[in-house]
Copies of this chain bind each other. A is one copy, B any other.
Amino acid sequence: MGQDQTYIHGYAVAEDRRLHDQAATLEELLHHDLTFPAGSIVLEAGSGVGAQTIPLLRRNPGIRLTCLDRSAPSLDAARARLCAAGLPLPEFRQADLRAMPFSDGAFDHAFVCFVLEHLPEPEAALAELRRVVRPGGSLTVIEGDHGSVLLHPDDEAARAAIACQVALQRAASGDARIGRRLAPLLVGAGFTAVRVSPRPVLADATRPALVDGFVRRTSTAMVAGIRDEAMQAGLTDAAAFEAGLRGLLRTAEGDGTFGYTFFKATAVVPSVHR
């Protein structure tokens, strides 16, 4: 992550904790099929503070990984986190996803998680990813889609608070609802064998860990984190925003439910003579 100057998620300590919680709660859902052959040369593009690097390396200890991010502080945080987790350190490179310092076909596989949503030009990053992965190699992309939120009880103020986050991300030239667009983006970038797999999360009283980790500590915390920015942008006021947060937290009570869908796409770089 961290490809945008007007970056939404930020690097604060609370955010760092939130990203960790989300990674732990959702790791099985998102990454259970994230496997690369031992010896593969893999790029994680937009690796940010390393939240997704940990499951990538844990599940694939035999790969040769390069982590690319444009933020030096994020790369430093990722290095510290991987050290603390006792994982082998990948190569770290600081660069923009639109102009990667790699030769054509340098990688067998590339992995991009919660990154494209922040980019003004996801097409440019996908063109670069297609260039640096060898023909026959693969790309894996995971993104969310804030339009997929399902609330019970449904709550207009809560949906309005989420809409503030969508609007802020759009103002920063990102797209918080990019998940539904992955197939046309990958097809348009010239990838082949494109497959998009929706990964729905449904938190209800029968899954208390998910209610705590995903509804309270991830989703509601993420929305709460944009409060000041949303008010400064004139998108909401304190009372309306607090009502929205209450509505989100209401879904975490015993008779409530909260749904969200992530999208995981895989695609292959076509052969030259294809």
Contacts and interface: CB of A to CB of B under 8 A. Distances in A.
Contacts of A201: 198
Interface in A171-229: 177, 179-181, 183-184, 187-188, 194-198, 200-202, 204-206
Contacts of A184: 152, 204-205, 254-257
A155 interface: no
A148 interface: yes
Contacts of A96: none
B195 A198 contact: no
Interface residues of A, number: 33
A147 interface: yes
Contacts of A152: 180-181, 184
A150 interface: yes
Contacts of A147: 150, 154
A16 interface: no
**Copies of this chain, how many?**
2
Contacts of A120: none
Contacts of A177: 150, 154
A196 B202 contact: yes
Interface of A: 145, 147-148, 150-152, 154, 177, 179-181, 183-184, 187-188, 194-198, 200-202, 204-206, 254-257, 259, 261, 263
Given A180-B202, A183-B202, A202-B263, 18 more contacts: A145-B150, A148-B150, A150-B177, A152-B180, A180-B257, A181-B257, A183-B204, A183-B206, A183-B257, A184-B256, A187-B205, A194-B206, A196-B206, A198-B200, A198-B201, A198-B259, A200-B261, A261-B261
